[in-house]
Amino acid sequence: MSMDQMEADLNILIEISSGRGLLIGDVKSSDPYVVVTMGKFGEVHKTKHISKTLNPEWGPEHKSTFILNVPSFKLVDSDGLTFTVKDYDMLSTDEDLGTVQLSVGDVMTKGSMDIMLERKITPPAESAGKDAGYLTIRIRKATPEDAQSLAKGEKKRLFAIKTGVFDGDGKKGVHDMMV
């Protein structure tokens, strides 16, 4: 990576779209939300929780979309983005349901496209060996219109409809979807 690329600001629109087959955090279900962190730089975004579901679909009303606007070197220094799925509990500590890691390469290369990523969630240590489900994340370069829409608090989707399915190598598959 050149020095110019390292110093350039990233301006990437990220939407936490949905979860599928999440772990049970309460008696029969979960109240999931997602916290996004960037290594030592800490939390960069958090969605609102959705009550009583193992298959959440976050939308604009859940603060599902944000713009990652940081110098490239900070992302490289942080080793990428971590998406932690948590179960909201009003009376006790929120429980971790698992994590998804997007590498620096994922964020920087896929952020230049318009793509949907469905990634397997790694369960927390106390649930090791269990299927923690999947998290779907959409990512693309942010536009000035995206920033205006988010600043105004508009409740509209900023991504187009998906048109195909691709894996991480750009071949047709079930993990990454180009939109």
Residue 101 is predicted with a pLDDT of 97
CATH number for 119: 2.60.40.150
- State pTM to two decimals: 0.83
Q: Is 142 helix (H, G, I), strand (E, B) or coil?
A: coil
Residue 120, domain extent: 3-178
Task: State the Cα–Cα distance between residues 128 and 54, nearest whole angstrom.
Answer: 18
51-101 pLDDT per residue, tens: 999 999 999 999 999 999 999 899 989 989 999 999 999 999 999 999 999
| Number of domain units in the chain | 1
